[in-house]
Amino acid sequence: MSGKPRSTRSQYNLGYQKLALRAATPEELEQWSDASSDSSYFSNDLTDLDDSRPYAFERGELAWVRTTNGTWCLGNVTSSPPRVGLTRDGEGLFYSVIFTMGGARMKKSFAPMNGEIKPDTVEIRDLLKTYGWLED
């Protein structure tokens, strides 16, 4: 074995810990898909960008992601299958997203249950405007 550190491609930095992501089972994908299929995502209590909601993203879907420095960026969900990892609410799905920040193209995994990835909808854009991340 070489002395090189392991690749951090499949790890997510949650606070100070690096957490490994693993492949989701078909049962887990179905479970989380069912949880996100109700219409409660945009209920009146979604008033803060930090709020978390279960949501099943599709490949190629536009999504707003919050980077580690707190900046919100628009990106595309990649064709990589969702992975499972620890979120602030227990285990949840992480979606790989390609986005641009400061002119650099980046790829990172984000979890809806961490409140760090949101679908690109009118409601989310309104919240981004309210908090000064988008202009009218």
**Tens digits of per-residue pLDDT, 53-105?**
888 999 999 999 999 999 999 999 999 999 999 999 889 999 999 999 999 99
Q: For the full predicted model, state whether its pTM sits above 0.95.
A: no
**Tens digits of per-residue pLDDT, 69-81?**
999 999 999 999 9
- Provide, rounded to the nearest whole percent, the portion of the chain with pLDDT above 70: 77
**Tens digits of per-residue pLDDT, 13-68?**
444 445 689 999 999 888 877 666 555 555 556 778 888 888 899 999 999 999 99
| Rg for the chain, CA atoms, rounded | 15
